[in-house]
Chains A and B, each alone.
Chain A
Amino acid sequence: MPDDAIVEVEGIGKTYPGGVEALRNVNLAFPRGKLSTLLGPSGCGKTTLLKIIAGLIPHNAGEVRVNGKKIQGPGPERAFVFQDFALMPWATVLRNVAFGLELRGVPRAQREATARRYIAEAGLSGFEASHPNQLSGGMRQRVGLARALAVDADIILMDEPFSSVDEQTRRKFQEDLLDLLRHRRKTVIFVTHSIEEAAYLSDQIALLSPRPGTVSRIIRPNVDRGRSADEIRRDRNYLDTVDEIWQILKQYV
């Protein structure tokens, strides 16, 4: 395992009540300050693994360590971005983004100032007083991301964050995400079923095989991210990675 792993998953097993085995003996290390992807067909337990790392659901075997310490439930160093956004429909964008800080008891003026900063960064200035139902899917997901960034966690866990937004929004969002990571040195763990998305975004891709979910391969795409998005999408390494992943995943579908 690399020395600078921020999250280590060791021997994780999960069987749901009723006997469905979702994960078996999963071992993974997530490098600090990098973007790692959990990739696999539906039913491979990738979301389950992400929620176990988040401390949201209990596991039956093994342990998860964050900064070397075994986790017991959610912690301030991890923030979650939900697939279905999980925004409060009765609250404004401002309150939704500030909600993590509100739960921590940060005074109103202070948390709203912080929230406004991240709203601006997410490109949502002017929508502070809107309600989530008045926003498009892509904008809602930006609210969810801004909320996760506002609590200043080192690790951002994202559960298929782009699965319910349209293709154009998705591309723009992916580029913004890469931009953001370059500036903030966050560690991101990202669940997706899109091969292109994984190859485009990730420093490390863990391929999961289904029923029960287990790590079948770890790929570290050697894509130079210093260049523009369009150049990356034409990059030899990027295209090879996509092809390599597809050759492996093909046997599961």
Chain B
Amino acid sequence: MRQPPVAGHIVWQLISFVFFFGLWELVGRWPISAAFPPFSQTLLALWQMIADGSLGNAYLSTLQPLVIGIVLCGMAGIGFGIGMGLSRTIEWFSLPIFIILQAAPMAAIIPLITYLYGIGLTSKVLAVILLAAPVIVMNSYKGIRNTHPSLIQMSRSFLGTRRQQVVKIILPHAAALIFTGLRLGLAMGFIGVVIAELLITPTGIGDLITYHSSVADYPKMFASIASIIAFAAVTIHALERVERRLFPPEIRGA
């Protein structure tokens, strides 16, 4: 496949950004709702929040449960998914749980978490884990389970032990899918942490959003919302690039 020249690519992206922000500015200046600030005011509010340190502090406290939750999921979730893929017993008793968790509307469970674990860091970490774990576990599980059967036969026919089969065939085969799961898990984790900060106790970004909305400082409220969206998008996109670097198409299994 031929890629368009990189320079042209960037120009089109810039045009799309200019168009979007221009539209935002225009609609914001339309005298319909005082609660919708134009782009320029939002940008100014963002600059003020960066300058007075409130945004930085907010991110420090928002990232805490997110990072803890994702690291825990990354270790336990991947381990669990691999276990489910390798052992029929583990699969039998845990697959239904993760299928239900993947389908369940998590926001409904968050009051329950608060009831059980209070309003501290534990509850927020749990909210991140509940959202991120299913996709991380399921991707690891599928990566293991989808190993090409003829590769397994190949390893057996050349007298590979079960251990060699797992280490040299099954895990390398699953690696790309596991990484994809981690990236999708992080995207879910962003959702989880913001929901937790809005529903449990306002801290970090959630606090900035609720506070500025309650005092009707709409530019700052919009700036907080826009900043977390941009932050999540850039992080996930960066991970996607890392993924493409680590697992280029020529080494991926069909």
Contact = CB atoms under 8 A, between A and B. Distances in A.
Interface of A: 51, 54-56, 73-76, 78-80, 82-84, 86, 88-91, 99-100, 102-104, 131, 133-134, 147, 151
B254 A86 contact: no
A56 B168 CA distance: 19
Nearest to A157: B157
Contacts of B157: 54-56, 74, 78-80
B158 A103 contact: yes
A133 B156 contact: no
Interface residues of B, number: 24
B150 A90 contact: no
A54 B148 CA distance: 19
Given A84-B150, A89-B252, 19 more contacts: A51-B153, A54-B157, A76-B159, A78-B157, A79-B158, A80-B153, A82-B153, A82-B154, A86-B148, A86-B153, A88-B169, A90-B173, A90-B175, A99-B158, A100-B159, A103-B158, A103-B159, A133-B252, A147-B158
Contacts of A79: 157-158
Contacts of A134: 250
A29 to B, nearest CB: 22
Contact of A100 (B158, B172, B254): B158
A88 B173 CA distance: 8
27 contacts: A54-B157, A55-B157, A56-B156, A74-B157, A74-B159, A78-B157, A79-B158, A80-B157, A86-B148, A88-B172, A88-B173, A89-B250, A89-B252, A90-B173, A90-B251, A99-B158, A100-B158, A100-B159, A103-B158, A103-B160, A103-B161, A103-B168, A104-B159, A133-B249, A133-B251, A133-B252, A151-B158
Interface of A is mostly: loop
6 nearest interchain CB pairs? Answer: A86-B154, A100-B158, A80-B157, A86-B150, A103-B160, A90-B251
A17 B80 CA distance: 30
Contacts of B153: 51, 56, 80, 82, 86
B158 A90 contact: no
Nearest to B150: A86
Contacts of B253: 89-90
Most buried by A among B151, B157, B250, B252: B157
Contacts of A104: 158-159
A131 B253 CA distance: 11
A216 B158 CA distance: 32
Given A88-B169, A131-B250, A133-B249, A82 B150 contact: yes
A79 B249 CA distance: 29
B58 to A, nearest CB: 42
A51 to B, nearest CB: 8
A131 B251 contact: yes
Contacts of B168: 99, 102-103
A86 B153 CA distance: 9
A73 B158 CA distance: 11
A96 B173 CA distance: 14
A90 B172 contact: yes
Given A76-B159, A86-B154, A103 B251 contact: no
A151 B157 CA distance: 11
